């Protein structure tokens, strides 16, 4: 890969942006460049990254899922309710996590039926199911805040991998989740790049009819995608509940902006076909860096959402410009060969 190509990559632009913002924030407030702050950014990124990996897969396939925050909180909340109701092992972390993933896969399966079965456009389908899931949860599962979540989950929120007191006297903690989240990230990357399923996801984003002619089952691939995203969302939901140490059915709604913005900034094309796990990781880190540290720049926290909105628009604009250049390159490829 030559240097110019490297410059054109979204990841390069993003790394550059992260460095520039770090320098700006760091010059204003020295506490930015502390390990404590770095670990804080990581901690606030875990849940979002798992959501984002799911969204990345959907966006590469040329679809969009806006139901994932609801699926996440539905799965997390319901898992806690089930734990309470059936008085399952209070100490266990794996049981509620497995429950949430299972619930997520089932809800994702319902999305899959709407999208692959009834061929409803993905945005409309997931917008619809999001409403249905939310209504179902609030009416039949519960609408009240649960503050005493199972002990295992509660303890997990403070399970730190690294913990020490800094010279300034603040407590520096790196949560143990960094390991499983890193493994999941790696797994999704391998899935997308090294398996036929992963390449089928890219193929689908490149063109549905062409994918079908390759001999790939479009419906089966879509069904797998939405179930996988459901499972990832369920996992993210239960981790969110654990880290927050409470299960609030009204949480997470509205978080789709941050996640979709992170994925798009990471270079995934909203038209489908393009996107990388590395880019998404950078996108999530970037968004959280901005959100966590706007205050240090003297920007009121009420501007956070607006800032993320602006970033999303910038990300899409960069894509549109890149698309234009790509067409130019193609044109020059055609005329060059003609000579």
The one among 214, 253, 295, 321 contacting other proteins by CB under 8 A: 214
Separation between Cα atoms, residue 236 and residue 46, nearest integer Å: 8
The one among 32, 77, 202, 286 contacting other proteins by CB under 8 A: 202
Q: For residue 57, which of 101, 125, 122 has the smallest C-alpha distance?
A: 122
Separation between Cα atoms, residue 202 and residue 194, nearest integer Å: 12
The one among 81, 216, 262, 268 contacting other proteins by CB under 8 A: 216
Task: Indicate whether 123 belongs to the interface with other proteins (CB under 8 A).
Answer: no
The helix (H) or strand (E) run that includes residue 143 is none
Among the residue ranges 83-91, 190-198, 232-240, 311-319, the one whose residues contact other proteins (CB under 8 A): 190-198
Q: By CB under 8 A, what part of segment 274-293 binds other proteins?
A: 274
Taking the least distance from each CB to other proteins, the nearer of 147 and 193 is 193
DSSP character for 303? G
Q: For residue 219, which of 114, 132, 129 has the smallest C-alpha distance?
A: 114
Task: Indicate whether 61 belongs to the interface with other proteins (CB under 8 A).
Answer: no
Among the residue ranges 85-93, 163-171, 211-219, 244-252, the one whose residues contact other proteins (CB under 8 A): 211-219
Task: Indicate whether 195 belongs to the interface with other proteins (CB under 8 A).
Answer: yes
Among the residue ranges 89-97, 122-130, 191-199, 220-228, the one whose residues contact other proteins (CB under 8 A): 191-199
Task: Indicate whether 183 belongs to the interface with other proteins (CB under 8 A).
Answer: no
For tokens 């490829």, the residue is: 333
Inter-CA distances, 220 with 25, 85, 227, Å: 47, 36, 11
Separation between Cα atoms, residue 14 and residue 22, nearest integer Å: 12
Taking the least distance from each CB to other proteins, the nearer of 163 and 194 is 194
Q: Could you tell me the smallest distance in angstroms from the CB atom of residue 12 to other proteins?
A: 17
Tokens, residue 181: 């989240």
Tokens, residue 174: 């790196």
CA angle 215–221–227, rounded 5-degree value? 170
In the complex, the residues that contact other proteins under the rule CB under 8 A are 194-197, 199, 202-203, 205-207, 209-211, 213-216, 273-274, 326, 329-330, 333-339
């Amino acid at each position: 890969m030559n240097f110019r190509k490297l410059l054109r990559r979204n990841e390069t632009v993003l790394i550059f942006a992260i460095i520039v913002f770090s320098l700006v924030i760091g010059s204003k407030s020295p506490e930015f460049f502390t390990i404590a702050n770095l670990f804080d950014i990581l901690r606030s990124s875990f849940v979002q990254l798992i959501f984002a990996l799911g969204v990345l897969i959907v966006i590469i396939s040329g679809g969009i899922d806006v139901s994932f925050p609801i699926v996440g909180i539905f799965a997390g909340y319901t898992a806690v309710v089930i734990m309470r109701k059936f008085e399952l092992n209070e100490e266990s972390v794996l049981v509620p996590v497995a429950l949430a993933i299972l619930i997520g896969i089932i809800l994702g399966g319902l999305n899959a039926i709407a999208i692959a079965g009834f061929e409803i456009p993905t945005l409309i389908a997931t917008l619809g199911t999001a409403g249905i899931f939310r209504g179902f949860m609030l009416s039949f599962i519960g609408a009240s805040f649960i503050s005493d979540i199972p002990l295992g989950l509660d303890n997990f929120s403070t399970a730190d991998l690294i913990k020490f007191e800094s010279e300034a006297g603040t407590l520096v903690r790196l949560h143990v989740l960094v390991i499983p989240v890193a493994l999941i990230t790696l797994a999704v990357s391998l899935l997308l790049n090294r398996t036929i399923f992963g390449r089928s996801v890219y193929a689908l984003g490149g063109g549905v009819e062409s994918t079908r002619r390759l001999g790939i089952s479009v419906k089966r691939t879509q069904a797998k995608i939405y179930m996988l995203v459901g499972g990832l969302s369920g996992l993210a939901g239960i981790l969110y509940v654990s880290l927050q140490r409470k299960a609030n059915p009204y949480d997470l709604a509205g978080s789709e902006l941050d996640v979709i913005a992170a994925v798009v900034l990471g270079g995934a094309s909203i038209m489908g076909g393009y996107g990388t796990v590395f880019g998404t990781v950078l996108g999530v880190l970037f968004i959280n860096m901005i959100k966590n540290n706007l205050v240090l720049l003297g920007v009121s926290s009420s501007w956070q959402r607006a800032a993320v909105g602006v970033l999303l628009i910038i990300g899409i604009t960069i894509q549109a410009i890149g698309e234009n250049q790509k067409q130019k390159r193609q044109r020059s490829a055609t005329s060059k060969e003609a000579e």
